[in-house]
């Protein structure tokens, strides 16, 4: 049986180990943010300095934008249906059924559409960029590019980040549109209403300030997704296992930061546009 002195020593050593682990996590976290900051600064410098990689930018816009469109539209449509079904019952209970179009429009345009788009793109594009650049890193393709006197921060990272920034607001419009259509469809099956009337009722009290800031806040989501995924991909180490880790961490971190950024941006939008 341990004596008081030895159990005290044990407790102290446990506390020291805990403190060391905490410090290590903290240090790793700060280092990660520091390196991300340096990476973003380097990508920004590369992006603004000529020559511009327009061909690669258009190619990335196609991969990130056009190829994500069906998934984003489907996610938006599902959100519209769920919103319609859920709010339909609730509003009937409170005797406010006529407000259903407005609730769906407000909900989709102001929050559901942008966030769903951000998360879907974080999943599809984040994983894609993380895995692609990770694979290029471990097979020395990024080194080969640098050895060919081509800046990989400009050619690979800046084009992908910029394409994410440009495409997210457009994809949000697609998610909003399909959400509204399917929201109306789900509603009209239970309680027939023409699409025109649905839109008139829905948009009656919607202003541009309700629509523009939430749609364009997704450009920030695009910046986060592109920067985090490129950063995680370009710092990959350790062969195929490292590529898997890069893809996973790109999705997890970009999704997490999209949600956190949304909290800040919603507060900011409310402060600026009420």
Q: Which residues contact 81 (CB under 8 A, 6 or more apart)?
A: 182, 183, 185, 186
Residue with tokens 């006529």: 98
Residue 140 interacting with another protein (CB under 8 A): yes
Task: Kindly state the smallest distance separating residue 60's Cβ from another protein, in Å.
Answer: 12
Which helix (H) or strand (E) is 205 found in, with range? none
> Residue 135 or residue 187: which is nearer to another protein going by CB?
135
Task: Kindly state the smallest distance separating residue 151's Cβ from another protein, in Å.
Answer: 7
Residue 76 near residue 179 (C-beta atoms within 8 A): yes
Q: Which stretch binds another protein (CB under 8 A): 105-113, 148-156, 194-202, 211-219?
A: 148-156
Answer for which of 150, 189, 264, 270 binds another protein (CB under 8 A) is: 150
Q: Which stretch binds another protein (CB under 8 A): 82-90, 140-148, 187-195, 233-241?
A: 140-148
Closest CA to 204 of 134, 85, 104: 104
Site string for another protein, 96-135 (x = CB under 8 A): ------------------------------------x--x
Q: Which tokens is 74 given? A: 């489907």
Residue 247 near residue 125 (C-beta atoms within 8 A): no
Task: Kindly state the smallest distance separating residue 48's Cβ from another protein, in Å.
Answer: 14
* Rounded Cα–Cα distance for residues 98 and 203 (Å): 13
Residue 151 interacting with another protein (CB under 8 A): yes
Q: Buried (b) or exposed (e) across 122-131, using 16+ Cβ within 10 A?
A: bbbbbbbbbb
Answer for which of 36, 40, 74, 145 binds another protein (CB under 8 A) is: 145
Answer for which of 7, 9, 24, 139 binds another protein (CB under 8 A) is: 139
> Residue 17 or residue 144: which is nearer to another protein going by CB?
144
Q: Which tokens is 5 given? A: 């002195």
Q: Which tokens is 103 given? A: 């609730």
Residue 54 interacting with another protein (CB under 8 A): no
The pair phi, psi for residue 144, each rounded to 5°, is -65, -40
Neighbouring C-alpha atoms within 13 Å toward the C-beta of 105: 20
Answer for which of 106, 141, 235, 248 binds another protein (CB under 8 A) is: 141
> Residue 111 or residue 143: which is nearer to another protein going by CB?
143
Residue 17 interacting with another protein (CB under 8 A): no
Residues that bind another protein in the complex, under the rule CB under 8 A? 132, 135-136, 139-141, 143-151
């Amino acid at each position: 049986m341990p004596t008081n002195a030895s159990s005290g020593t044990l407790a102290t050593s446990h506390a020291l180990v805990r403190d060391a682990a905490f410090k290590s996590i903290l240090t790793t976290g700060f280092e990660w943010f520091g390196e991300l900051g340096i990476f973003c600064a380097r990508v920004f410098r590369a992006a603004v300095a000529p020559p511009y990689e327009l061909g690669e930018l258009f190619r990335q816009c196609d991969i990130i934008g056009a190829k994500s469109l069906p998934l984003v539209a489907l996610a938006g449509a599902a959100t519209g249906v769920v919103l319609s079904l859920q709010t339909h019952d609730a509003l009937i209970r409170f005797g406010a059924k006529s407000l259903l179009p407005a609730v769906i429009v407000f909900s989709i345009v102001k929050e559901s559409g942008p966030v769903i788009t951000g998360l879907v793109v974080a999943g599809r594009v984040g994983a894609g960029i993380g895995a692609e650049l990770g694979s290029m890193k471990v097979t020395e393709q990024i080194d080969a590019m640098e050895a060919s006197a081509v800046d990989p921060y400009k050619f690979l990272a800046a084009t992908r980040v910029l394409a994410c920034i440009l495409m997210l607001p457009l994809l949000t419009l697609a998610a909003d549109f399909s959400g509204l259509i399917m929201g109306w469809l789900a509603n009209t099956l239970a309680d027939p209403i023409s699409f025109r009337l649905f839109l008139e009722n829905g948009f009656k009290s919607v202003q541009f300030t309700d629509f523009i800031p939430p749609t364009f806040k997704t450009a920030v989501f695009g910046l986060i997704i592109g920067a985090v995924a490129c950063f995680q991909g370009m710092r990959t180490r350790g062969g195929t296992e490292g590529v898997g880790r890069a893809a996973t961490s790109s999705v997890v971190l970009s999704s997490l930061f999209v949600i956190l950024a949304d909290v800040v941006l919603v507060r900011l939008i409310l402060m600026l546009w009420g």
